[in-house]
Structure 1
Amino acid sequence: MEPRVQQPVAWNPRALPLPALAVAGVGPVALALARRALAVDDAALARWSGVAGPGVLVLLGDAESLPWVDGVLYLGRDPAAPSLLLPCTLAPDVAPALLDRALVARAEAGTPLAVLPRSGHLVPVGAARPVSRETLGAWLAKQEAA
C-alpha cells in the first residue's frame, strides 16, 4: 500500500463573512493584541475570555467588543464545522464538516479549536478563562522577554 500524501487546505474568500466570536494574533500581532487589550478599562476586559501560548493569543467575546490591531484574524463558527472557529472572511477548499472531523481527530486537546491558517496553529479554546489584567500582563512580559 502506498503512503497517503496529505494535501494542505487552501483558503479562499468567503462569500458571506461569519459573525466574529474571537480574535487571534500570532507573533508580533499577538503582542500588539495583548497591549491593546491591556489598554481598555476593566469593564471591557471583563467581557472577554481567552487562551494564550508561546507567541499566540486568542480572545473570545461579542463581535462588537473584540479589539482590533493590524494583522489580527477574526474567527467565527461555520454551522457545518461546529467544533472549529474559522476565519470570518476565509473558507476552506474542503467541506467544512470534513475539516471539522479531521482536525478534531488530530487534536490532542479539547474543542473548540481556533484554526489559524497562515501560521498553522490549532488553538484549543475550550479552556478559555476570563481575561485577567494581571495574567495577560504577565504573559505579555514573558513573551517580550523571549
Structure 2
Amino acid sequence: MRWRPRALPLEPLAVAGVGPVALALGHRASRAGDAALASWSGVAGTDVLVLLGASASLPWVDGAVYLGRDPLAPSLLLPCALEPDVAPALLERALLAGQGDAPLAVLPGAGVLVSVAAAQPVVRASLLAWLSASEAAS
C-alpha cells in the first residue's frame, strides 16, 4: 500500500511521534501550561507518544505526524496530509481485524499502529517519568 498527498487535509485531532520525534514531542508537551496539559489525553509506549486534543492546542514538533479522522474510516486516526491508495474503509477493516481496540493511530512513515482506546488525561508527572525512562533507554 502506498500513501499520497490528500487533496483536502483532515482536521488534526492528534499528534504523534516515534523515536527521537516522540522525545521531542514529550519535551515540548512538558513545557506546556497546565491548561493545555489538562486539555490533552494521550498514550505512550516504547519509542512512541500520541497526544489527542483540539487542533489549536496540539504542540508543534518538527517531524511529528498530525492525525485526523476520515469519515470513510472513523475508527482510524490517519495522517492529515496523506491518504492511502486503497479505499479507507477497506484499510480500516483490515487493520482492525488484526489489531484490536479502536481507534488506531496509523503512522505510515514509521510503520507503526497505536491503539489510542486507552488514552488517559496527560499528567505532567507521568509525562516526565515517561521522558526519563525513554531517555535512559536510548
Shorter-normalised TM range: over 0.9
Number of residue equivalences: 137
TM-superposition CA deviations, 1:92-112 (whole Å, max 9, x none): 0000000000000010x4110
Q: Structure 1 residue aligned with 2:59, among 56, 62, 67? A: 67
Partner of 2:45: 53
Structure ranking higher in helix proportion: 2
Q: Which residue of 2 aligns with 1:18?
A: 10
Runs of 4+ aligned structure 1 residues displaced above 2 Å come to: none
2:21 to 21, 29, 40: 29
What is the match of residue 111 of structure 2?
Answer: 120
Q: Which runs of 5+ in 2 are unaligned?
A: none
User: What residue number does 2:125 align with?
Assistant: 134
TM-score, with structure 1 as normaliser: 0.93
SS at match of 1:19: coil
Q: Deviations over 1:45-69 (max 9, x none)?
A: 1010000000000000000000001
Distance between the aligned counterparts of 2:61 and 2:110, measured in 1?
17
Question: Larger Cα Rg: Structure 1 or Structure 2?
Answer: 1
Shift of 1:11: 0.3
- Provide the residue aligned with 1:91 in structure 2: 83
CA RMSD for the aligned pairs? 0.5
**Counterpart residue identity of residue 19, structure 2:** G
**2:102 matched residue in structure 1:** 111
Q: Report the identity percentage.
A: 69
Aligned AA (2:117): G
Gaps of 5+ in 1: 1-8
Q: What TM-score comes out, normalization by structure 2 length?
A: 0.98
